[in-house]
Amino acid sequence: MIKKMLYILNIGLWLLLSCSGGSDDLSPPDTPKDIIPTNLTLMVDVLGTDTNNPNGDGSGVITVSIHADNADSYGFKVESQQEVKNTTGVFEYTFINEGTNEYVITAFAYSKTGHEISTFKKVMVYVASNDLQLVWSDEFNTNGVPDASKWGYDIGNGCPDICGWGNGEKQYYTNRSDNVKVENGLLKIIAKKEDYQGSAYTSARLLTKDKYEFTYGRIDVRAKLPSGQGTWPAIWMLGANIDEVGWPECGEIDIMEHWGHNATVVSSATHTLSCSGGCENVKVGETTVTDYATSFHIYSLIWNEDELQFLIDGDLKYTYNPATKNVTTWPYDKPQFLILNVALGGSWFTIDPNFTEAVMEIDYVKVYQ
């Protein structure tokens, strides 16, 4: 009897081993094996480097090439900036800080199973001085109302021509001190919940139209943004010929836009006859800024005959440079004026029902040419 039982146990064990193939790997057959990228290489080419210009030709342009075995995507970042990814491993970046500076370039390689490796390289880059001069500014040093020689206002809700200013906005713009004032070295644009002229909210929109208009240069605006669902602060520009040709033929440049419902994302964009915002072959610049409402940041535009560069705190975030420049893609060869405002609500988002007040604070506006 004992021998018979042992025989049966041996048969059962043999069958078990046969079914398992004699392997210790009990993983499901479809489980992918770990794929680890290897042999990561990082090459950085500084444009215009030669024996006379060891750190480049002054343009600040670099081309980065990343490759690794077993990798299907790559990442690239400069210093502590946000990582940019693609599948080619080739990236282009433009430095804008003048002089010769050392930067840390970090490269990443990712496999299809999510494994990664990284490396870094230090590179010296020379950026030539652009010799720009300050030609217009407001540093808001006098308490009270904004300087009337520099700023005008849009008043109302856009009706009857473009009610809601074409976007379904809910505020009524005023020039009252309740909505706009200069205090302690800051311009304050105050959006409020209050019944006024048939609207449930008020705010202010300042502009330099008919007071200061310009073509090309660098614009720096140091600002701290409001927060809250429904807020929509903007630092932007419109073509001075808008009354003659209309929008978007006049061209719009959004240096900074922020929507409270997408709290940590700051956007830059262009609007032309060919494309408004994010369109085919035109990427909208979006940057994560977590302390947008607690810290001041410098939102900048560098505008020349060839391209628009959008920066935050001196770091290039987005470039608009269409391959073909004509009346539909490039209205940016004519004067534009500046606009500062805080809107509330839009046709595609709502306002927090508990909203009471929000403030955009601006330390200065400076234009260089």
Distance (Å, whole) CA 83 – CA 80: 8
Distance (Å, whole) CA 206 – CA 51: 51
The token pair at 330 is 């490039």
Q: Are strands 171-173 and 199-203 parallel, antiparallel or unpaired?
A: parallel
Q: How far apart are the first and last CA of the chain?
A: 104
**DSSP β-bridge partners for residue 236:** 254, 339
Burial of 116 (0-12, 13-18, 19+ CB in 10 A): middle
Q: Could you tell me how many residues make up the chain? A: 369
| Cα dihedral 259, 79, 97, 214 in deg (nearest 10) | -20
**DSSP β-bridge partners for residue 77:** 106
**Active site (catalytic) residues:** 252, 257
Task: Decide if 248 contacts 273 (C-beta within 8 A).
Answer: yes
Distance (Å, whole) CA 151 – CA 301: 20
For residues 66-100, one letter each, b for 16 or more C-beta atoms within 10 angstroms of the residue's C-beta and e for the rest, the string is: bbbebbebbbbbbeebeeeeeeebebebbbeeeee
Distance (Å, whole) CA 308 – CA 255: 10
In angstroms and rounded to an integer, the radius of gyration of the C-alpha atoms of the chain is: 28
Task: Decide if 278 contacts 320 (C-beta within 8 A).
Answer: no
Q: What are phi and psi of 362, to 5 degrees?
A: -125, 120
Q: Are strands 297-303 and 308-312 parallel, antiparallel or unpaired?
A: antiparallel
Q: What share of the chain is helix, strand, coil (3-state, %, to 5)?
A: 10, 45, 45
Distance (Å, whole) CA 57 – CA 244: 42
